[in-house]
Amino acid sequence: MVMAIPRKLVALGDSGVFGWGDPLEGGWCERLRRHWMDLPGGPVLYNLGVRGDGLERLAARLGAEVGCRGELRRQLPQGILLGVGINDSARVGRADGRPQLDADGFLFGLQQLLRQARTIAPVHVIGLTPVDEAAMPYAEVLWYSQTDIRRYEGLLEEACLEADVPFLPLLEGLLADPDWPQWLSSDGLHLNSEGHRQVYQRVRDWPALLAWADLQPLHGQTPLMA
């Protein structure tokens, strides 16, 4: 009997993708990996999140890291999921300092990254998560703000729209719930276990990613009211 070869998705990004802050289940990406592993024909998910990564560092490792995870000879992964941008938005030294990567540089670099990634495999991009500004600065040197994160998520969406790449916004949906401050770790930056669960549910049920994975939504359609 010939076994079907599952498709592979490589997730690249920062500590959010890595799962930092979730000691219970390892983060939203690990939760998705386990969920897919339990499904017949579910994709294989490689978590290549690296703490502290920004756009430039991610772009530098894209080709090498994706290229060696095809599992079979001359086979590449069938999908790439990107989660990056929050570290680029951080201001250095003070609340009104320079960003680690300014908005123009971020947009240009992202456009280049998407072009490169699309030559390897279909690409999906997720948005950014909130921070607690009252807990800043992070590590005594980096200042994250909701305003900057909103701006950089907008740049992510703009570049994805231009490149015809599926994009999942996260920020406004998370902020819409009054409980969102409880989804952050004490450092005000990283999601805690509940925060990762919230993101996991959104990524797991994302129609664009479900279509790529050839999976059905976890929940059926809501019955129409009589």
Domain segments of the chain: what residues?
8-213
The torsion angle over the Cα atoms of residues 115, 121, 127 and 131, rounded to 10 degrees, is -100
Does position 189 have pLDDT exceeding 50, yes or no? yes
What pLDDT score does 222 carry?
39
Span 137-145, average pLDDT:
96
What pLDDT score does 68 carry?
79
Span 157-176, average pLDDT:
98
Pairing of strands 123-126, 91-92: unpaired
Span 2-17, average pLDDT:
86
What pLDDT score does 5 carry?
77
What pLDDT score does 218 carry?
67
- Cβ atoms within 10 Å, residue 147: 10
Nearest to 63 by CA among 124, 112, 6, 101: 112
What pLDDT score does 71 carry?
67
Span 101-118, average pLDDT:
98
What pLDDT score does 67 carry?
80
Which CATH number describes the domain made up of 8-213?
A: 3.40.50.1110
Span 83-112, average pLDDT:
97
Does position 224 have pLDDT exceeding 60, yes or no? no
Angle at 215 between CA 214 and CA 218, to 5 degrees: 165
What pLDDT score does 69 carry?
78
Q: Could you give the CA distance from residue 58 to residue 62 in angstroms, rounded to a whole number? A: 6
CA of 20: how far to CAs of 9, 51, 169, in Å? 20, 8, 20
Total-model pTM: 0.92
What pLDDT score does 220 carry?
46
Span 35-62, average pLDDT:
95
Give residue 97's pLDDT band: very low, low, confident or very high (50, 70, 90): very high
pLDDT top residue among 163 and 221: 163
Q: Could you give the CA distance from residue 89 to residue 152 in angstroms, rounded to a whole number? A: 7
Does position 2 have pLDDT exceeding 70, yes or no? no
| Residue-averaged pLDDT of the chain | 92
Q: For 51-96, how does the pLDDT look when each residue is reduced to its tens digit (9 = 90+)?
A: 999 999 999 999 988 887 766 666 788 999 999 999 999 999 999 9
